[in-house]
Amino acid sequence: MDEGSFALAGTLVDKAYVLQGQQAIARREGLTKSLLSSRKIPAKGWDDASIEHFLSELALMDSNNFLDNAGVGEREGRVFSQLVLKSRYRMSHGIGRSGDIAAIQPKAAGSSLMAKLVNLMALDALAIAGITEAKAALTVPLATGMALTMTLLGLRLKFKCPPSKRVVLWSRIDQKSCFKAIVTAGFEVVVVPLCRSSQGEGDELSTDLTALETLLTSHAERVLCVVTTASCFAPRAPDDLEAVARLCKAASSSADGA
């Protein structure tokens, strides 16, 4: 409600009580303003009511939720089930434009704003994780396999890889999505063997760094990248990502020097 609405509410309910309610709502609006200003993950997480309030406001900014609107556009949501509609906070409008999913959708200001904020917070999460070189992030609903495929294709495009650079060294995990993703992207899979983890106990397995170094040397210029893992089910242990990164950096430096 705006100032006028609160003033009118004060004629129906004691003004002191209305003022308390107004101040409570103002605090939640302050969270929204802070998020839009900082464009980063809030230092203190929001409560559910604040999240739902914000999502509701964003949804009402999309044209398919305008009063007296008849949605007939190609991306305007028309949801038959009220259960589905409510579970999505009435957000059913598509984002992006034809050929550019990151573009602003004129009829979906709320959804477009949410998408922008999600990308910015994803970028902030990467920075918190230590990946400070990242300059932008794009969040899309992809699972493991397709996400890897798109990443590999993006690397090929970014570095203008010649046809000869088609080897991906894959630190084996017993999960088909990774293997299929590399093949789907048009690359040749070379499996890096595993060994008993030096950091763990018992039967934990992780990438054989010595074997990885040998493969990096033997395949040399043909290697696009190394796909390893930070999380998997037992007995697979997380890889020593820093050690793998050092080997990759050394191999890249050697290639540049040659």
pLDDT in tens, 196-229: 866 556 678 888 999 999 999 999 999 999 999 8
Residue-level pLDDT at 116: 95
d(CA 54, CA 87): 15
| Mean pLDDT value across residues 180-191 | 95
Encoded amino acid at 80, one letter: F
Give the residues across from 236 on adjacent strands.
Answer: 205
* pLDDT band at 236; cut points 50, 70, 90: confident
Residue-level pLDDT at 202: 67
Query: Is 100's pLDDT higher than 80?
Result: yes
Give the residues across from 100 on adjacent strands.
Answer: 97
Query: Is 75's pLDDT higher than 70?
Result: no
Encoded tokens for 91: 């957000």
For 77, the enclosing helix (H) or strand (E) is none
Query: Is 73's pLDDT higher than 80?
Result: no
| Mean pLDDT value across residues 146-151 | 92
The answer to whether 152 touches 179, Cβ cutoff 8 Å, is no
Phi-psi region of 202 (alpha: psi -120 to 50; beta: other; left: phi over 0): left
Residue-level pLDDT at 209: 92
Residue-level pLDDT at 195: 87
Encoded tokens for 199: 């950091």
Q: What is the pLDDT of the chain when averaged over all its residues? A: 89
> In 3D, which of 52, 42, 31 has the Cα closest to residue 121?
42
Structure pTM? 0.73
* pLDDT band at 256; cut points 50, 70, 90: low
| Mean pLDDT value across residues 157-176 | 89
Query: Is 50's pLDDT higher than 70?
Result: yes
Position with higher pLDDT, 71 vs 78: 78
pLDDT digits over 54-68, tens only? 999 999 999 888 888
| Mean pLDDT value across residues 138-145 | 87
Position with higher pLDDT, 258 vs 232: 232
Half-sphere exposure in the Cβ direction for 134 (13 Å, CA): 16
d(CA 19, CA 219): 71
Give the residues across from 190 on adjacent strands.
Answer: 169
Residue-level pLDDT at 200: 53
| Mean pLDDT value across residues 22-27 | 95
